[in-house]
Structure 1
Amino acid sequence: MSTITVPPVMPSVQQDCQALHHAMKGFGCNEKHVIEIIGHRTTLQRRELVAAYRGMYGEDLPHRLEKELRGNLEKAVLLWMMEPAERDAIILRDAMKGVGTKDKALIEIICTRAPSQIHAIRHAYQAKYQRSLDRDIESDTSGYYKKLLLAYASGLRYEGPEVDMNLAHSEAKELYKAGEARLGTDESTFIRIFSTRSATQLNATFQAYKHLYKRDIDKAIKREASGDFEDALRTIAKSVSHPDKYFAKALYKSMKGIGTDDATLIRVIVTRAEFDMHYIKAAFASKYKKSLESMVASDTSGHYKHFLLTLIGSH
């Protein structure tokens, strides 16, 4: 469920364009006014806003925002103004370009998106960068981690709600034999099952595993895998079972302790605000005994704080 609120009486898209143009006209930018408009518009409304602004002023609205804003506010706003698939494609490219790989972002995007979303991301990635997502994953990762990401990024999983309980019990036993029941791990079995089954089927398999062996699949993975391969498997397991808890934990970890992991904070809030942020907020409050709003408010400042709080429904 979305946490984006829209005005009870919606201005016309032309009025929004005029207000934005005025906020960015002349010296400086009225960032508060910009946030009050774009932070309270849905994906469709923002799409219409970009098209109308170009028609009225002959300028690309995101490009104008990029010139007017700075720092973390700029990063968050520019991601917010993008189409969801393009946004995820940009996050993936940023995670893999240059020296080193931002595996946390890479795993989060690939391993938590539905097959239909993955297909859209692949097309957006190719269109924007004239590069193959598969090739970039292959060149930036290795081993079983690479094999799992490539299989998951194929988008070939079924997306329907049906569950085959016989298959769930059978594959729970396969996972046990491939892991805890043997010395060493048969990683290929984990990759095959995790990357070919729907979210609902996987969830049924994980429940069957817990029923049969009295252990959560997450704990079994921790015993049998390591490194980025372990992180990717655990992300898949958590996101198909309790995505709200998975993203609540990601947000909490981005803010706990000294300093803030702004890249993760921005990525999760911007990509989940119109999807399931309502549930994430509830999971956050239940797990950490404080509201997401209060933690964001204490860890950020200025118009950057105002924008994030707007997206999570606090302003």
Structure 2
Amino acid sequence: MATKITISPILSSENVCKEIHDSWGSLNHLVPSLASLSGLQRKQIREEYMTMYGEDLLLHLRNTHRNQTEVSAEICAAAALSMLILNPNERDAIVSREALEQSDINYKALIEIFVGRKSSHVALIQQAYQTRFRRLLDQDIITIEPPNPYKKILMALAASHKAHHADVSQHIAKCDARRLYQTGEGRSGAVDESVVLEILSKRSISQLKQTFSCYKLIYGHNYTKSFKTDNHGEFGEALKTVVKCIYNPPKYYAKTLYASLKGKTTDKGALARVMVSRAEVDMDEIQRVFRKKYGIELKDAICENIPSGDYRDFLVALATKTTNLA
């Protein structure tokens, strides 16, 4: 029996479930209400909704606007709420599958998962992927055609998550930083892909982050700085995305959100994906970086660039919640 959780002094979990069930035509105020809950609270409400109505809450949200033919704010809100209510492993499994099924594979979405999740979570994501789609995530990445730099990097990161890593080593970080320099900007020509892929496949994300920190300490600039002036080709561009996501996640996500809000990216799902996945991880830090870099609060940027409605209310609710919810 699930432990009862008090949602708020006003709204009990039973009332929330009832209001959701009665909201076939509109999500209205339920959008910010659900978005403001913690992951544990949403899990409890999903279980209670099933007990009360014998239906998965996700199916309700997905079917609420099933008969509408045009993409509207309500459809976007329902889709985003569906993402939010899923447990993180299910959500990442679905995001991975959708990324792989696009005509132009969404490599950024895949990179964010393999870089931004602990190894133990990646294993659970792979299990959820196999359970839901009867396929192996690693195998689907291996069979990507045609071969490209992102595929090589994703395969290396997948291998890294399977290895057992010790605590972060400063010595290894310094050695790896020097190897990256010697096989990159420290010589003429493009970066040595084999060395980079070897390091990516054998080091944890925390270890890689330390390596890039050591690189900046030793050489006085970020590892990706040389990519801006030298011709590193497609591999260099892919590597730059990965390194930025590893080295400074809040800055990476702040830039991703800004590009999405301003329509400067073809990654249409990035806005909801990032807001949902980072809401209870580092949204406070992302907002701090966003404010410093662009001179505006994230919630204000959302209000300026997203039409009023359920979807905007949902995004604002995520932007204003704290990241220390369980």
Range class of TM-score, shorter chain: 0.7 to 0.9
Opposite residue 81 of structure 2, the aligned amino acid is V
User: How many Å apart are 1:54 and its aligned residue?
Assistant: 1.2
Residue from 130, 149, 152 that aligns with 1:147: 152
Q: 1:128 to 1:258 in 2, by over 3 A?
A: closer
- Whether the 8 Å CA contact 1:95–1:106 is kept in 2: the answer is yes
**Quick check: 52-61 or 141-150, which moved more?**
141-150
Alignment check: 8 A CA contact 2:260 2:268 kept: yes
Partners of 1:262 and 1:309 lie apart in 2 by: 18
Q: TM-score, normalised by structure 2?
A: 0.84
When residues 258 and 168 of structure 1 are mapped into structure 2, their CA distance, relative to the original with a 3 A threshold, is closer
- Contact 1:114/1:159 (<8 A) preserved: no
Match of 2:20 in 1: 20
Deviation at 1:56, TM superposition (A): 0.9
1:55 to 40, 44, 51: 51
Q: For 2:281 and 2:32, locate their aligned partners in 1 and report how far apart those are by CA, in whole Å.
A: 20
Conserved? CA contact 1:144–1:187, under 8 Å:
no
CA distance in 2, matches of 1:200, 1:111: 10
The corresponding residue for 1:207 is 213
Aligned to 2:201: 195
Structure 1 spans left out of the alignment, 5+ residues: 1-5
Percent identity, aligned pairs only, is: 36
Normalising by structure 1, what TM-score?
A: 0.87
Seen in structure 2, the aligned counterparts of structure 1 residues 224 and 116 have a Cα distance that, compared at 3 Å, is: farther
Aligned residue for 2:62? 66
The answer to whether residue 315 in structure 2 is matched with residue 308 in structure 1 is yes
What is the rounded CA distance, in whole Å, between the counterparts of 2:184 and 2:293 in structure 1? 30
Secondary structure class of the residue paired with 2:281: coil
Question: Structure 2 residue aligned with 1:282, among 288, 293, 301?
Answer: 288
Contact 2:7 2:41 in 1 (8 A): no
The count of corresponding residues between Structure 1 and Structure 2 is 304
Secondary structure class of the residue paired with 1:100: coil
Distance change >3 Å, CA 261–CA 314, structure 1 → 2: farther
For residue 111 of structure 1, report the CA deviation from its aligned partner: 3.0
Decide which of 10, 33, 37 is 1:41's aligned counterpart: 37
> Which region of structure 1 is more displaced relative to structure 2, 188-197 or 67-76?
67-76
**Bigger mean CA deviation after superposition, 217-226 or 40-49:** 217-226
The structural deviation recorded for 1:288 is 0.8
Match of 1:183 among 182, 185, 188: 188
Unaligned runs of 5+ in 2: 1-5, 66-73
Q: Are the aligned partners of 2:200 and 2:208 in contact in 1 as well (CA < 8 Å)?
A: yes
Deviations 1:153-201 (A, max 9, x none): 23135567x4322222211111112112333332111112123223332
- The answer to whether the Cα contact below 8 Å between 2:84 and 2:276 also exists between their aligned partners in 1 is yes
Question: What is the CA–CA distance in structure 2 between the aligned matches of 1:309 and 1:248, rounded to whole Å?
Answer: 15
Q: What is the distance in 2 between the residues matched to 1:220 and 1:133?
A: 33
In the alignment, which residue of structure 2 is the partner of 1:96? 100
Cα distance, 1:257 vs. partner?
A: 5.3
CA, structure 1 residues 179+36, in 2 after alignment: closer, same or farther (shift >3 Å)? Answer: closer
Cα distance change of structure 1 residues 120 and 251 upon mapping to structure 2, 3 Å threshold = same
Alignment-mate amino acid for residue 306 of structure 1:
D
Shifted more, 35-44 versus 46-55: the winner is: 35-44
Tell me what 1:170 maps to: 175
Q: Distance in 1 between matches of 2:75 and 2:237?
A: 30
The one-letter amino acid of 1:147's match is K
Which amino acid in 2 is paired with 1:127? Answer: T
Give deviations 1:253-299, integer Å, cap 9, x for gaps: 11225799641111110111111111100110011111111111111
Checking the alignment, whether the CA contact within 8 Å between 1:39 and 1:310 is kept in structure 2 is: yes
- Aligned to 1:215, the other structure's residue is in SS state coil
Please, which of 81, 85, 101 is the counterpart of residue 85 of structure 2?
Answer: 81
Distance 1:211 1:43, change over 3 A: closer
